[in-house]
Amino acid sequence: MRLVFNELSPKDRYLARGIRPLSLTEMGYITHLYLPLIGVESYTLYQVLAHEVEERNGAVGEGTHRGLMLITSLSLDRLLAARERLEALGLLEVRRRENRDRDYFYEYIVKPPLSPYQFFQEEIWSVMLLNKVERHRFEQLRQKYADRRLVDLEEAYPYEENLTKPFYEVYHSLSTSELEVRQGSETDHFFQRMEASYPAAPQQNDYLAEPSPTLDLSFVRLNLPSHIEASDVLTSETVSFFYQLLHFYQLSSWLLGQELRDWNLYTTDGQLDRVSLRRRLREKYVDGRLSRDVVSPADIELSPGELPEPGSVSHARICRSLSPLTLLELAVGGRVSKAFLERAEALVFTDGLSPEVANVLLLHALRETQMELPRSYLETVRDSWKAKQISTVDEAVQVILERTEAKQQAQEKAKNRKESTTASRRGGRSVPQDKLPASVQRQMEREQEREKAAQSETTPIEQEEELSVMDIPELRALLESIPKSQKGGKR
């Protein structure tokens, strides 16, 4: 069961921003092409966020998710689901900031839709739209956004020449002195003051919406062996498996299609052997023969041996952005070993963990085992997380932080207990009292008694001056009572 309050709360604030102003035509794209795919709730959320963005600066004052819930009449879980559908189709980019008090602030970046040409090039989206609106409406949409006149023009006038003049040909009369701004001049100071006082909003008027990397099924169909039916291979489970492969190994649809040409990857009844395909990709990676399209985000900071702290912003960004294999490559500084690859692959394909949760587990294991990945440790933590139904980065990080705190408390208690049960030190060595044999204890007591007796006998001699016989009255009287001997031996 998904715990929504671990990911989002009504009191969390947000700020809506826009990449560039949206045109009325693009709003039509949203209505005609995207609405059947995202649903009314996501469509409403997109309209609210898009119209909150101010055209002059591309941003809007902050609000809370409780306000969004009231405007859209959506509960928190439905609001989160609506937001994720916008994210999946590239209409919304979500960034989260955090302060020292663990208060979250969300940035919602409203992105323009794809053009109809780009939209219909995405085979998956076209199939989804066809299933939603059926053939008649789909044909109307294709006709609405078709440009037959351009096709006819290209056929009738096939030769084309670009006559557009560049800037320097039109404004060739401008002198250097008119355009140069000397450093330290009054004009330079004026520009600096304007930039500091009124920074321009980071809108991108030249931004072009691009589809996120998706699986192009045309490459798959094209490369299937002749005796294999596409309908037997392209099932919902297999397509989901293909997406996992593309993300984990950072492959393109073309590279995946090349691998599927081998008829040895199929069973006798025409089904794809997924285990064999995974083994093939794994062996090619270990041998250095696997072609990949690895693109790491520019804001990722992960160096070999330097792992981010759990709960930090960089830790969450790394876990959500990278594939498990790319994460391991950045952590170790190059291509990983076969053992590391197999254990990371098993977390995703065998154990069913999402890539982001697998990333949290891998980083945690590397940190706790000094850059190693023991199989037993991974399996223990994995089973614990599966029992707790961990499904997001935040939930996994919360478990790690709680475990770390409990471990520290246990160490403090053990230290205090050890100090309280330790006896007095003899010769720098601790001797617990409750572990001494009775004979040893009696011997120690006898030695202590002898030491006390010796101290009591020697103390007066050590502390007082040496005395003569005449200094003691009793001995002096006794000595005087004895008759003195006479000369010659007479008494």
Give per-residue pLDDT as tens, 333-368: 888 899 999 999 999 998 888 899 999 999 999 988
Determine the straight-line distance between the first and last CA of the chain, rounded to whole angstroms: 124
The model's pTM:
0.50
pLDDT at position 449: 78
pLDDT at position 7: 80
DSSP β-ladder status, 13-18 and 92-98: unpaired
Nearest-angstrom CA–CA distance, 421 and 140: 85
**Is residue 250 within 8 Å of 327, Cβ to Cβ?**
no
Cα angle value 15/298/373 (rounded, 5°): 105
Nearest-angstrom CA–CA distance, 223 and 215: 14
pLDDT at position 460: 47
pLDDT at position 464: 46
pLDDT at position 83: 92
- Please list, residue by residue across 77-86, b when 16 or more beta carbons sit within 10 angstroms of its beta carbon and e when fewer do: ebbebbbebb
Nearest-angstrom CA–CA distance, 229 and 269: 10
What's the one-letter identity of residue 489?
A: G
What ranges do the domains of the chain cover? 4-149, 217-287, 313-417
**Is residue 21 within 8 Å of 115, Cβ to Cβ?**
no
Question: What sign has the CA pseudo-torsion 201, 205, 206, 208?
Answer: positive
**Is residue 80 within 8 Å of 8, Cβ to Cβ?**
yes
Cα angle value 480/483/485 (rounded, 5°): 125
Q: Residue 359 is encoded by which pair of tokens?
A: 């990333």
Q: Residue 72 is encoded by which pair of tokens?
A: 């859209």
pLDDT at position 490: 47
**Cβ-count burial of 461 within 10 angstroms (0-12 exposed, 13-18 middle, 19+ buried)?**
exposed
3 state SS of 64: strand
Nearest-angstrom CA–CA distance, 414 and 406: 12
Percent of the chain topping pLDDT 90? 14
**Is residue 356 within 8 Å of 247, Cβ to Cβ?**
no
Which residues in the chain land under pLDDT 50? 423-424, 426, 458-466, 485-491
pLDDT at position 229: 83
**Is residue 111 within 8 Å of 92, Cβ to Cβ?**
yes
**Is residue 483 within 8 Å of 491, Cβ to Cβ?**
yes
Distances (CA, A) of 239 to 42, 175, 232, 245, 349: 25, 61, 11, 10, 14
Q: Which CATH class is domain 4-149?
A: mainly alpha
Concatenated DSSP letters of 222-279: HHS-TTS-HHHH--HHHHHHHHHHHHHHT--HHHHHHHTT-GGGB-TTS-B-HHHHHH
3 state SS of 380: helix
